[in-house]
Structure 1
Amino acid sequence: MRINKAARLLAAAVVGVALAGAGLAGPAVAEDDPEDGIDVSVTIEPGTTTGQVSMTVADNGGVALQENGSDAAARQFVGTLPTVTVTDTRDPGEIPDGDFWAVVGQAGEFTATDGSAPPIGPQYLGWRPRLLSDSSTGAVAAGEPVSSVISDGSGAPTVGLRGQELLVSTANSADEIGTWEVNADLALRTPTDVAAGEYHSTLTLSLFNQS
């Protein structure tokens, strides 16, 4: 993973500005003569908005993993991550050389709802990111797949989902401008003797930028 401690976590904030008319009271004056009126005009050009890199996640009710592909080595439960969209609206000329961004995923422990079973660590959850947008420029790429610490036999690193890239910009900043979509196949591979029960985890996605 290329992101280091110098990276900035990008956060979007919305600021509302209200314009209100105020009634100003003053001394009484004689009736205005229309011929003495002064026309006041102003031309207001469209405002300019500074570009930014932003991330959204498709509306979802969570991911319910279903058992599929279990074998003698592990119980396996699979599902699909909701589509994640990154949009870069910056001016290419204002982006520093070497600037890049990345979406990083971090899973928490799977804890039993009733607390009766020990937690399942994030090292047992893997994913295989899939870029859904046109990648002909090579400017943006899906992250590398990772497997549970119980290997799935694919040859992917068996490190689990503990701070792994889902989507990363890789090329010239001018080519990165646009909208990019990605999702991922999720696979939880646990020991075969895992305790029965309902478990829940939180998968956090963060958009980082580094220059």
Structure 2
Amino acid sequence: MSATLRARGFAALVAGVVVAGTVLAPAAASAAERVVLSKGHTDAIDVHYEGGALSLKVNDDTVSPSVTRDPADVTFQVLPEAAMAVPDDPRFAFLGPAGSQVWLLPMTQDPDLLWPGWNTTTLDPGAFEGNKVRLSLVDVEGPGNVTLFTQDSFGGPLIKFRGDDGLPDAIDVPVQTHAHSNWAFGALGSYTLTFQAEATLTNGTTVSTGPVDYSFVVGELPGGGPEVGLSITGMADAYQPNDTVTLNAVQTPQTELDHYHWFSKCPGAADWSIIAGEAGVSYSFTATRELNACEYVVKLYDDDHAVAATSEPVALRVASPPGQPGAAQTITASIDDTQGALVISVNPDDRAVVLPPAQLNAGGDRWESNGELRPVTVTDTRAGQPGWSASGQIPAGFTGPDGAAFSANHLGWSPRILAQGSGQGVVAGPEIAPPGGGLGDSAVLGSAPGGAGRGTAQLGAGLRLSLPTDTAAGTYTATLTLTAI
């Protein structure tokens, strides 16, 4: 019996622009700034352990570089486009009657919807007993049922958390895990999901985050109207010293919101600074040589002081004092720290893994085969150096002759670093051993911490297939999806 594994590589770009300076790790957002996340990737349940304390954060990957937020400052929006009919399949009866409507954030990314997951990649191996933390859904408040579930290789649901059959529900999550599931909501409206993480340290001490509330809105935001865009007008190409500069905030379309804050960042500054006392639609000031190359943005806030819109930055240019005619030049160079990309790829001519024919193990109770993943290349050219994590998953399992199939959890790997650039700090992901733990769930192949990921690294892994002896003979194939975030 032989098995064939085809690896399909693709780029997962951390998209979006954040108005912030260059940082070497995910920046911490201001506690006063509330945000609504409705599209893109986010580690909604991001487990941290620092200073002896376990905590839950939100890793907002919808902006670049990513931002670490307090869950209290985030509203997760399930857009109306997430609506779908419950399948006419008894396996999904927990979602409601067939044909009834639910709102689903899928476990595979839809660029038009939010893609929330949970993450323990910030936790160090060896800190906790069993190298795991227990994640619990403690409570759900809202107008409908809430269920988080994955799917097996046959498409059947694997329920992780379910709000209508008694809470709390708990799962054990290994450290260095980045995972996604389907998030299903049974009705439009506002929800509060209360999560908790706890673990036992290797010295026997139990640590816990305590209950942490997460806010979700299914459908339109309360009092919401059309999405508003924000831009700045009035900035001239260049100014002379002592000229008056007047910048105006322009909403598209115009709304009733009128609460603004203006921010500036001058050369050498790491972060944007709020301009004290400037909360109106216009901002006027005097141009000076010291302000040359400073940038300005404006933010619009709603009644709850959440950011409703943020403008693109505009730059001020102030002419140099006159000198001898023809004896001086002004040369201005700009570097956009939002440029660059994170790309994961495989050689298109070297992307097929053919495992050797499986043999009985020494105990005579398993078919086993060992092979090698073809090299995987991760290239990070982002100036902000936020770090990255590369992972792999076989969501659909293996298929064989005459409809035969088996779960991808029968295939595991032992990741390793084949090569990395000078100054990179790439580390291999944890070993995933079959049967039981396998590549049916997302598993980390390798990662780089903030400040040490820029460059090109090549990752590999030893593969191990372990199957029960009653598996039907034949050639089986599967597709491994590779992702970098």
Q: Deviations over 1:46-69 (max 9, x none)?
A: 997822221111222521111356
CA distance in 2, matches of 1:135, 1:128: 21
Alignment-derived partner of residue 51 in structure 1? 340
Tell whether the 8 Å contact from 1:56 to 1:86 is kept in structure 2 after alignment: yes
Give the length in aligned residue pairs: 156
Alignment-derived partner of residue 24 in structure 1? none
Alignment-derived partner of residue 186 in structure 1? 463
> In the alignment, residue 427 of structure 2 is paired with which amino acid?
A
Alignment-derived partner of residue 397 in structure 2? 109
Alignment-derived partner of residue 354 in structure 2? 64
> In the alignment, residue 165 of structure 1 is paired with which amino acid?
V
How large is the Cα RMSD of the aligned pairs? Answer: 3.0
Structure 1 runs, 4 residues or longer, greater than 4 Å off: 5-11, 45-49, 134-138
Q: Alignment partner for residue 132 of structure 1, among 418, 421, 424? A: 418
Alignment-derived partner of residue 196 in structure 2? none
Tell whether the 8 Å contact from 1:77 to 1:188 is kept in structure 2 after alignment: yes
Structure having the higher strand fraction is 2
CA distance in 2, matches of 1:8, 1:69: 44
Summarize the Cα distance change of 1:189–1:130 in structure 2 as closer, same or farther, 3 Å threshold: same
CA distance in 2, matches of 1:146, 1:140: 18
Alignment-derived partner of residue 88 in structure 2? none
Tell whether the 8 Å contact from 1:67 to 1:75 is kept in structure 2 after alignment: no
Q: Deviations over 1:9-57 (max 9, x none)?
A: 999xxxxxxxxxxxxxxxxxxxxxxxxxxxxxxxxx9997822221111
Q: Alignment partner for residue 447 of structure 2, among 124, 149, 168? A: 168
CA distance in 2, matches of 1:134, 1:86: 9
Q: Say which SS state the counterpart of residue 123 (structure 1) adopts.
A: helix
Percent identity for Structure 1 against Structure 2: 32
- CA deviation after TM superposition for structure 1 residue 174, in Å: 3.2
- CA deviation after TM superposition for structure 1 residue 102, in Å: 0.8
Summarize the Cα distance change of 1:47–1:67 in structure 2 as closer, same or farther, 3 Å threshold: farther
- The structure, 1 or 2, with the larger RCO (C-alpha pairs under 8 Å, 6+ apart) is 1
TM-score under structure 2 normalisation? 0.29
Tell whether the 8 Å contact from 2:344 to 2:482 is kept in structure 1 after alignment: no
CA distance in 1, matches of 2:360, 2:343: 38
CA distance in 2, matches of 1:79, 1:114: 25
Tell whether the 8 Å contact from 1:110 to 1:199 is kept in structure 2 after alignment: yes
> In the alignment, residue 475 of structure 2 is paired with which amino acid?
E
TM-score under structure 1 normalisation? 0.63
